[in-house]
Structure 1
């Protein structure tokens, strides 16, 4: 019994997860309607989302959700038909309704009754929605008769749908049952006939009490659409054979239905006759036509009957095989299928793949030491397979950043209205993929950057008009892949950062010597210091000097970095660079003074040998190009003597090149990155560690920070402490 309860709980989790995904679709579509009220595709998208939530909620007897979304659906249906023009006020009302549905679902998740405030809001929103509907559209869903908005007495026998469903054997194991499906259908209209089909039920010794062998023949009198009826079976659609015939179907339609179902033709015909789908004359006509078709094809009996009569297989086995055949046929006709997997399972898979990579490297090293050709060839083949498994596992964790970006449409709309500004959000590169953990962790830093752009970046309408700018400001969220990393930009066309204001604040706090004029890049970095703010007044959104330092720390914790470009009067761009993944990378292994270092392979351009007569200069003439050098031995303070020869590994980042001087080139490897402990979290130039096949530890280099150390005069590996008052920049 507990197993089934767990299954029901899992199904409910899936239901709530899908509902929140549908709410995101609703919000996205409504925000598109805000700028384009006549966008028919957006109206349809919002309607489908509300309709699916309503149907799914009915399946789980969440009547308060069904009733409320019925009113929302009614307004959207009028908008779809062109009978209602959605203005800004209407879109705002629907956004509030979307939020209310989310609150109702959250209460259902917590298994609590909506509190008084939620119920009062429910009544207020229903009154607002009803004001947009005609009188005959205001009735709630009928729980025992016709479809919403229609009296059962107006639906004739000719308006009856015929539904044939054969459930899969795993229905009960997945926590589902035919009973709630019938209840949901009953809310849509009148169940005229329900015939239980148990022809697939095996003999008692072979019957599994946890398996489902049932089917249903249903006659439903309703004005509902086919899509509405299909939605009832949404959670079992992959595990059942479902056929739906509309009212007024012809004899030919029932012939095709009989052909699709697994039972004997005469048996199906009897059930159709019993539930009133066809008449006796139509049944005789169907059976006669099918008999003629079999005779013309040289078949006197269905092949299933022949197999049973010749004792080649039991009747139950034949029926089960036919049912499986029908299910398989339907599944092959469907396009792509999606499954939901708990993120913890993916994390566990990645951990095991990482262990497999390390073990494979160890076996490869042992094979190389043995020198046996057969073993080396086998290990090489295994390494290729491990690499393929690694790539496939990593792709499972890659998700598009568009869903995270879309959340900010609502943030921009609400905050701009609160501040009295007209701001539009533009999104580019929504299909850019990166590791799911990064997508989850980047949401908070992006929220702070967007809120700052709304509050401080975009000027008021009066100031923009005086400056000759469009009254409507623009905030742009963009993402793209670049050199094995993901670049995320938050930009605005506002007033830009106030360089002089920042310098004045720094001098006031003793962070900058009088008369000093640092470069723009150094000035912009001041805003990331704790407590630093140039805001003249504190608002509900920002101005306390709290947040930008947390943004920087959060991004660096993801092995990323943030840069700022700003032009006074034109706008500001915050550019965040993140690795594609935090788990496994292709790397290049190098040896320095007996220690091992790894650099991401996609940052490596080439390797060259350092001249024997090298005089320790800090640069190299690389085919006429000046290449700055970073000698890792000196940079990290390694004591061991120089090797017989040294090499230069040329790496690049953001268009800048750097030569790493090393003792040995040890080749490519798959590096499973392990994070540094808190004690070493402030190391500059090191982003993590990895375990080699020999069991030794290698440090993973952080190329962007190493490049920064060169451009700032070769600073030490340990960064200086945060600036104190009276300390010069």
Structure 2
């Protein structure tokens, strides 16, 4: 039995918390008065500090403690989250990540970052010194007969699941002791008899008589993650109430005194626990269990292995279905149908596990745009849409680098400076949009900017200079835009830390090609550019339509199929199959796959046309027979077949033979070429 590395577990959780912290800080820059964002950022820091100390990352815990202390002034409203403070806090967040990932290395920048953080906070005083600090001095003159503001009584009972989730009451009491001089009394009135006691339930309550200023904020910090499901009261002690000299000795007798005060949950032990459960909205009894079981971290390798097993099961089920269809045994047919239903459900569930909202990827680029805006001195508005669009986790992981290059390219090359934008009649700040949308069997991810657009003359000149294009050669506009993805191609006048070496867009092209995707480029001079990545929804299992062309069988991704029609009689192939069908008033080009694949077998008398789409384009594929739908397990083609663009993979059919999977995006582009040639003619 293998056990996970606890340090790696901490690192994984810390990465998620740091990502949450970064998003909170970026949002806080736009809404500095948002208390929810401040509290979320503070909770992330507090969790990292506690977990870091527990797992032995002492340098992390010490740094985060100082970070937390400085940031606490923002949480208490004593200063505001200015852009300068956010920038320093983001640097501190990056430093925490380095301390976590490389704890053995020397990190000399800790003191400098913390000093910058303190100096920034000290120089951004916003709230005048008239809040809670003045209250203890003013209160004695008005309420001296009733209460002593320097003495407080705190009572608390932990949630029922606190011990189960690792809360140590003694550590909480130690934190309270650090606030000021205090006397602690255990409340034992709710402890049941020994025969029914549950060792995982915190039956003890606690009473703390504390000396010092108003402790509300400090106590909130102590119970930061528990107060939603616990009982807690903080009241000033009466001025004539003597502090018990030795309350620990009379802890049992103290409970009736507590019952005489207005704390009904302490006075009624049998009803205390049900009251907490109802009041916290199942946070104690059911909420904690649901929160613990709502998600589980699983290694990606195990998911890939599970998907492979499901793929083999789908192939075996297809073989069983084919055998059952050839048999007259009713029981066998029933079992085959039941297995098909179960395997289909298992496939959908497994695919759902692999599908991840693309918003998890989009959120990473907010920091990128924030830093680019600062480094380049450009005002940039970053807008994301379609974050709920789901994509295979494998693609999500591999899309990060291409999108980084596209966004940096848009910000650096696309968006003009504020002066040039104003001179062109635009707003001073530029806009970069990142969107995702389903498009048939694909997901279209677009990076859109409202900059100057691509310069056709400069691109052509660079292409000719690099030997990619012959002088005076005629080239379509779309083909010219594709030149920017050539290795080493760059229109930058000088090499900078952001661009100029011509390697970024090459990385984009190679990665997207490896994912069986395509890149569309469109631009309008003076108005901006759009880079659209078109990617298949999944790399594993799809629903397919099995068709026959001659003696060969092929699979068309079902999500790309719009409809099937009969090929009208009397239509002959013209000029290598350039033909059009009238589909409800729209001319749709169609390809005779027999000609595309060089099939020599005689054609069927009644051929069918499968209308498929990709993006905005449509094309009809003429086949001899539509066999039916099936679950298609995608098998990658070897490198020897990488130059064949008409196929995106292969699948194993129920009889053990292989069927090639058609690349609909390539065939649609191929068919749309006929339209362009027809218009040119």
Match of 1:357 in 2: 314
Matched, 1:23 2:15: no
Query: Following superposition of structure 1 onto structure 2, how do residues 148-547 of structure 1 map, counting pairs within 5 Å?
Result: 158-163=153-158, 182-183=170-171, 186-189=174-177, 192=184, 217=204, 219=206, 221=208, 223=215, 228-229=221-222, 243-247=230-234, 273-274=251-252, 276=254, 279=257, 329=286, 331=288, 337-547=294-504
How many Å separate the matches in 2 of 1:182 and 1:77?
24
Cα distance, 1:598 vs structure 2 = 0.9
Give the conservation status (yes or no) of the 8 Å contact 1:193–1:275: no
Give the conservation status (yes or no) of the 8 Å contact 2:187–2:254: no
Aligned residues: 620
Match of 1:672 in 2: 633
Judged with a 3 Å threshold, the aligned counterparts in structure 2 of structure 1 residues 275 and 20 are, in CA distance, closer, same or farther, namely farther
Give the conservation status (yes or no) of the 8 Å contact 1:219–1:277: no
Match of 1:115 in 2: 107
Judged with a 3 Å threshold, the aligned counterparts in structure 2 of structure 1 residues 467 and 358 are, in CA distance, closer, same or farther, namely same
Match of 1:661 in 2: 622
Deviations 1:625-647 (A, max 9, x none): 43322222321234444345432
Q: 1:609 aligns with which of 547, 566, 581?
A: 566
How many Å separate the matches in 1 of 2:467 and 2:54?
66
Cα distance, 1:704 vs structure 2 = 0.9
Match of 1:51 in 2: 46
Q: 2:37 aligns with which of 38, 42, 59?
A: 42
Matched, 1:698 2:659: yes
How many Å separate the matches in 2 of 1:282 and 1:414?
59
How many Å separate the matches in 2 of 1:90 and 1:287?
44
Q: Secondary structure at the match of 2:589?
A: strand
Match of 1:621 in 2: 581
Give the conservation status (yes or no) of the 8 Å contact 2:439–2:614: no
How many Å separate the matches in 1 of 2:98 and 2:665?
44
How many Å separate the matches in 2 of 1:286 and 1:79?
36
Cα distance, 1:369 vs structure 2 = 0.8
Matched, 1:566 2:523: yes
Cα distance, 1:185 vs structure 2 = 5.3
Cα distance, 1:710 vs structure 2 = 2.7
Deviations 1:383-406 (A, max 9, x none): 222222211221122222223212
How many Å separate the matches in 2 of 1:415 and 1:499?
26
How many Å separate the matches in 2 of 1:279 and 1:633?
94
Give the conservation status (yes or no) of the 8 Å contact 1:100–1:122: no
Deviations 1:657-689 (A, max 9, x none): 211122221111111112222222222021111
Matched, 1:90 2:115: no
Judged with a 3 Å threshold, the aligned counterparts in structure 2 of structure 1 residues 682 and 202 are, in CA distance, closer, same or farther, namely farther
Give the conservation status (yes or no) of the 8 Å contact 2:544–2:557: yes
Give the conservation status (yes or no) of the 8 Å contact 1:427–1:476: yes
Q: Name stretches of at least 5 consecutive residues in structure 2 with no aligned partner.
A: 130-147, 237-247, 272-281, 677-681
Judged with a 3 Å threshold, the aligned counterparts in structure 2 of structure 1 residues 164 and 568 are, in CA distance, closer, same or farther, namely closer
Indicate the RMSD between aligned Cα atoms, in angstroms: 4.1
How many Å separate the matches in 2 of 1:386 and 1:200?
52
Q: Secondary structure at the match of 2:573?
A: coil
Give the conservation status (yes or no) of the 8 Å contact 1:489–1:574: yes
How many Å separate the matches in 1 of 2:225 and 2:252?
24
How many Å separate the matches in 1 of 2:162 and 2:482?
63
Cα distance, 1:124 vs structure 2 = 5.0
Deviations 1:675-728 (A, max 9, x none): 22222222202111111121111111111111222334599xxxxxxxxxxxxx
How many Å separate the matches in 2 of 1:88 and 1:58?
30
Give the conservation status (yes or no) of the 8 Å contact 1:473–1:493: yes
How many Å separate the matches in 1 of 2:193 and 2:88?
51
TM-score (norm 2): 0.79
Judged with a 3 Å threshold, the aligned counterparts in structure 2 of structure 1 residues 192 and 443 are, in CA distance, closer, same or farther, namely same
Cα distance, 1:434 vs structure 2 = 1.3
Q: Secondary structure at the match of 2:500?
A: coil
Give the conservation status (yes or no) of the 8 Å contact 1:397–1:436: yes
How many Å separate the matches in 1 of 2:270 and 2:420?
84
Match of 1:266 in 2: none
Cα distance, 1:521 vs structure 2 = 1.1
Match of 1:264 in 2: none
Q: Secondary structure at the match of 1:158?
A: strand
Q: Secondary structure at the match of 1:116?
A: coil
Match of 1:314 in 2: none
Q: Secondary structure at the match of 2:553?
A: strand
Judged with a 3 Å threshold, the aligned counterparts in structure 2 of structure 1 residues 227 and 610 are, in CA distance, closer, same or farther, namely farther
Judged with a 3 Å threshold, the aligned counterparts in structure 2 of structure 1 residues 278 and 591 are, in CA distance, closer, same or farther, namely farther
Give the conservation status (yes or no) of the 8 Å contact 1:161–1:219: yes
How many Å separate the matches in 1 of 2:494 and 2:321?
63
Match of 1:647 in 2: 608
Cα distance, 1:341 vs structure 2 = 2.8
Q: Secondary structure at the match of 1:246?
A: strand
Cα distance, 1:582 vs structure 2 = 1.2
Query: Following superposition of structure 1 onto structure 2, how do residues 126-165 of structure 1 map, counting pairs within 5 Å?
Result: 128-129=120-121, 158-163=153-158
How many Å separate the matches in 2 of 1:468 and 1:705?
40
Cα distance, 1:46 vs structure 2 = 2.5
Judged with a 3 Å threshold, the aligned counterparts in structure 2 of structure 1 residues 329 and 276 are, in CA distance, closer, same or farther, namely farther
Cα distance, 1:407 vs structure 2 = 1.6
Judged with a 3 Å threshold, the aligned counterparts in structure 2 of structure 1 residues 707 and 665 are, in CA distance, closer, same or farther, namely same
Judged with a 3 Å threshold, the aligned counterparts in structure 2 of structure 1 residues 216 and 460 are, in CA distance, closer, same or farther, namely same
Cα distance, 1:604 vs structure 2 = 1.0
Matched, 1:685 2:646: yes
TM-score (norm 1): 0.75
How many Å separate the matches in 2 of 1:329 and 1:711?
57
How many Å separate the matches in 2 of 1:446 and 1:665?
39
Give the conservation status (yes or no) of the 8 Å contact 2:91–2:113: no
Matched, 1:101 2:101: no
How many Å separate the matches in 1 of 2:369 and 2:624?
53
